[in-house]
Amino acid sequence: MDNFYCLIRLQKNRTISLCLFESIQNSLENYDKNIYPICFTAVSADSMHILLSKHDLFKKLSINHVLYLGQELYKAELSVIFNQSYVQN
pLDDT of the residue at 78: 96
- Report whether 40 contacts 18 (CB < 8 A): yes
What's the structural domain count of the chain? 1
Is 88 part of a structural domain of the chain? no
pTM of this structure: 0.83
pLDDT of the residue at 84: 93
Q: Is 32 helix (H, G, I), strand (E, B) or coil?
A: coil
Q: How confident is the model at residue 2 (pLDDT cuts 50, 70, 90)?
A: confident
What does the pLDDT look like over 9-65, one tens digit per residue? 999 999 999 999 887 765 556 555 667 889 999 999 999 999 999 998 888 888 999
Q: String of b and e for 15-40 (b: at least 16 CB within 10 Å)?
A: bbebebeeeeeeeeeeeeeeeeeeeb
Beta strands in the chain (DSSP E): 4-10, 16-22, 38-42
Is 47 part of a structural domain of the chain? yes
pLDDT of the residue at 59: 86
Q: How confident is the model at residue 4 (pLDDT cuts 50, 70, 90)?
A: confident
Is 68 part of a structural domain of the chain? yes
Is 50 part of a structural domain of the chain? yes
Is 59 part of a structural domain of the chain? yes
Which residue range forms the structural domain that includes residue 50?
A: 4-81
Is 87 part of a structural domain of the chain? no
CA-to-CA distance for 60 and 63, rounded, in angstroms?
9
DSSP state of 82: T
Is 89 part of a structural domain of the chain? no
DSSP state of 14: S
